Protein backbone atom coordinates (compact mmCIF):
# COMPACT_ATOMS: atom_id res chain seq x y z
CA UNK A 1 0.00 0.00 0.00
CA UNK A 2 1.16 3.53 -0.79
CA UNK A 3 -0.09 6.70 0.91
CA UNK A 4 0.37 10.31 -0.21
CA UNK A 5 -1.82 12.53 2.01
CA UNK A 6 -0.24 15.84 0.90
CA UNK A 7 -2.22 19.04 1.31
CA UNK A 8 -1.80 19.56 -2.45
CA UNK A 9 0.05 17.62 -5.13
CA UNK A 10 0.56 19.39 -8.46
CA UNK A 11 0.80 16.24 -10.58
CA UNK A 12 1.59 13.19 -8.52
CA UNK A 13 4.48 11.35 -10.13
CA UNK A 14 4.98 9.23 -7.00
CA UNK A 15 1.30 8.26 -7.22
CA UNK A 16 1.77 7.16 -10.84
CA UNK A 17 4.91 5.22 -9.88
CA UNK A 18 3.17 3.46 -6.98
CA UNK A 19 0.18 2.52 -9.14
CA UNK A 20 2.53 1.27 -11.89
CA UNK A 21 4.08 -1.05 -9.30
CA UNK A 22 0.63 -2.38 -8.43
CA UNK A 23 0.37 -0.82 -4.99
CA UNK A 24 -3.13 0.11 -3.84
CA UNK A 25 -2.76 3.87 -3.51
CA UNK A 26 -4.28 6.38 -1.11
CA UNK A 27 -3.53 9.95 -2.20
CA UNK A 28 -4.74 13.47 -1.62
CA UNK A 29 -7.96 14.56 -3.26
CA UNK A 30 -6.37 17.95 -4.04
CA UNK A 31 -4.46 18.36 -7.30
CA UNK A 32 -3.19 15.79 -9.75
CA UNK A 33 -4.09 12.61 -7.85
CA UNK A 34 -7.77 13.61 -8.06
CA UNK A 35 -7.47 13.04 -11.82
CA UNK A 36 -5.10 10.09 -11.73
CA UNK A 37 -7.04 7.91 -9.29
CA UNK A 38 -10.60 6.72 -9.79
CA UNK A 39 -11.78 6.64 -6.20
CA UNK A 40 -12.65 3.14 -5.04
CA UNK A 41 -11.69 1.64 -8.40
CA UNK A 42 -7.98 2.24 -9.05
CA UNK A 43 -7.08 3.72 -5.67
CA UNK A 44 -8.51 6.03 -3.06
CA UNK A 45 -8.73 9.77 -2.47
CA UNK A 46 -8.05 11.01 1.03
CA UNK A 47 -8.68 14.49 2.35
CA UNK A 48 -5.61 15.55 4.35
CA UNK A 49 -7.78 17.99 6.29
CA UNK A 50 -9.81 15.06 7.65
CA UNK A 51 -7.30 12.47 8.90
CA UNK A 52 -9.96 10.49 10.77
CA UNK A 53 -11.81 9.83 7.51
CA UNK A 54 -8.53 8.83 5.82
CA UNK A 55 -7.74 6.39 8.63
CA UNK A 56 -11.24 4.94 8.42
CA UNK A 57 -10.91 4.52 4.64
CA UNK A 58 -7.62 2.65 5.06
CA UNK A 59 -9.03 0.47 7.83
CA UNK A 60 -12.06 -0.33 5.65
CA UNK A 61 -9.73 -1.28 2.79
CA UNK A 62 -7.80 -3.72 4.98
CA UNK A 63 -11.03 -5.09 6.40
CA UNK A 64 -12.30 -5.69 2.86
CA UNK A 65 -9.01 -7.41 1.98
CA UNK A 66 -9.48 -9.65 5.02
CA UNK A 67 -13.00 -10.61 3.87
CA UNK A 68 -12.20 -10.90 0.16
CA UNK A 69 -8.75 -12.25 -0.70
CA UNK A 70 -9.03 -10.80 -4.23
CA UNK A 71 -9.80 -7.21 -3.15
CA UNK A 72 -6.14 -6.11 -2.98
CA UNK A 73 -5.51 -7.58 -6.46
CA UNK A 74 -8.67 -5.95 -7.84
CA UNK A 75 -7.55 -2.45 -6.76
CA UNK A 76 -3.95 -3.17 -7.75
CA UNK A 77 -4.85 -4.38 -11.25
CA UNK A 78 -7.25 -1.46 -11.80
CA UNK A 79 -4.47 0.96 -10.80
CA UNK A 80 -2.01 -0.58 -13.25
CA UNK A 81 -4.66 -0.54 -15.98
CA UNK A 82 -5.45 3.13 -15.29
CA UNK A 83 -1.78 4.06 -15.70
CA UNK A 84 -1.37 2.13 -18.94
CA UNK A 85 -4.51 3.75 -20.35
CA UNK A 86 -3.57 7.36 -19.48
CA UNK A 87 0.00 7.88 -18.24
CA UNK A 88 2.56 6.09 -20.39
CA UNK A 89 5.53 7.71 -22.12
CA UNK A 90 3.96 6.83 -25.49
CA UNK A 91 0.77 8.73 -24.62
CA UNK A 92 2.82 11.66 -23.29
CA UNK A 93 4.96 11.77 -26.45
CA UNK A 94 1.89 11.71 -28.70
CA UNK A 95 0.34 14.61 -26.78
CA UNK A 96 3.59 16.55 -26.91
CA UNK A 97 3.83 16.03 -30.68
CA UNK A 98 0.22 17.18 -31.09
CA UNK A 99 0.96 20.34 -29.09
CA UNK A 100 4.11 20.96 -31.13
CA UNK A 101 2.05 20.62 -34.31
CA UNK A 102 -0.59 23.02 -33.01
CA UNK A 103 2.10 25.54 -32.04
CA UNK A 104 3.80 25.19 -35.43
CA UNK A 105 0.49 25.70 -37.22
CA UNK A 106 -0.36 28.73 -35.05
CA UNK A 107 3.03 30.25 -35.75
CA UNK A 108 2.57 29.68 -39.47
CA UNK A 109 -0.94 31.17 -39.70
CA UNK A 110 -0.29 34.07 -37.34
CA UNK A 111 2.59 35.36 -39.47
CA UNK A 112 3.96 37.30 -36.52
CA UNK A 113 7.47 38.48 -37.16
CA UNK A 114 10.03 38.72 -34.36
CA UNK A 115 9.78 42.51 -34.26
CA UNK A 116 5.98 42.37 -33.95
CA UNK A 117 6.23 39.74 -31.24
CA UNK A 118 8.76 41.86 -29.31
CA UNK A 119 6.51 44.93 -29.62
CA UNK A 120 3.58 42.95 -28.30
CA UNK A 121 5.59 41.70 -25.31
CA UNK A 122 6.92 45.19 -24.56
CA UNK A 123 3.38 46.59 -24.68
CA UNK A 124 2.25 43.86 -22.30
CA UNK A 125 5.17 44.65 -19.98
CA UNK A 126 4.41 48.39 -19.92
CA UNK A 127 0.69 47.87 -19.41
CA UNK A 128 0.80 45.12 -16.83
CA UNK A 129 4.16 44.42 -15.21
CA UNK A 130 5.81 47.83 -15.05
CA UNK A 131 3.52 49.01 -12.25
CA UNK A 132 3.92 45.69 -10.46
CA UNK A 133 7.71 46.00 -10.69
CA UNK A 134 7.53 49.51 -9.20
CA UNK A 135 5.63 48.16 -6.20
CA UNK A 136 8.45 45.77 -5.25
CA UNK A 137 10.47 47.41 -2.47
CA UNK A 138 14.12 47.95 -3.22
CA UNK A 139 16.67 46.42 -0.89
CA UNK A 140 18.37 48.77 1.54
CA UNK A 141 22.14 48.62 0.81
CA UNK A 142 22.94 49.25 4.50
CA UNK A 143 20.79 46.29 5.58
CA UNK A 144 22.40 44.02 2.95
CA UNK A 145 25.89 45.07 4.03
CA UNK A 146 25.11 44.43 7.72
CA UNK A 147 23.72 40.94 6.99
CA UNK A 148 26.86 39.78 5.16
Helix (H) or strand (E) holding 48: none
The answer to whether 24 touches 75, Cβ cutoff 8 Å, is yes
Confidence tier at 79 by pLDDT (50, 70, 90): very high
Q: Which residues contact 46 (CB under 8 A, 6 or more apart)?
A: 3, 5, 26, 27, 28, 29, 53, 54, 57
- Quote the strand ranges of the chain, DSSP E: 2-4, 25-28, 44-46
**pLDDT of the residue at 42:** 97
CA 128 to mean position of chain CA atoms:
28
Single pTM value for the model? 0.65
Q: What is the pLDDT of residues 94-127, one digit of tens each?
A: 888 888 877 776 666 666 666 777 777 777 677 7
**pLDDT of the residue at 17:** 93
The answer to whether 52 touches 59, Cβ cutoff 8 Å, is no
Q: What is the pLDDT of residues 84-98, one digit of tens each?
A: 999 998 998 888 888
- Of residues 131 and 143, the one with the higher pLDDT is 131
Q: What is the pLDDT of residues 13-22, one digit of tens each?
A: 999 999 999 9
The answer to whether 5 touches 30, Cβ cutoff 8 Å, is no
pLDDT at 131 over 70: yes
pLDDT at 40 over 70: yes
Q: Going from the N-terminus, what domains does the chain have, and what CATH number goes with each? A: 2-87 (3.40.50.2000), 91-136 (no CATH)
What is the pLDDT averaged over residues 71-89? Answer: 95
- Rounded CA gap, 115 and 53, in Å? 57
Q: What is the pLDDT of residues 20-36, one digit of tens each?
A: 999 999 999 999 999 99
Amino acid sequence: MFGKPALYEAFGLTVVEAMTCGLPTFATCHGGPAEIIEHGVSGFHVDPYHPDQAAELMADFFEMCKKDSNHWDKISNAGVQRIYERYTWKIYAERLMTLAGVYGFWKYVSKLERRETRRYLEMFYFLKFRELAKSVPLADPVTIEQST
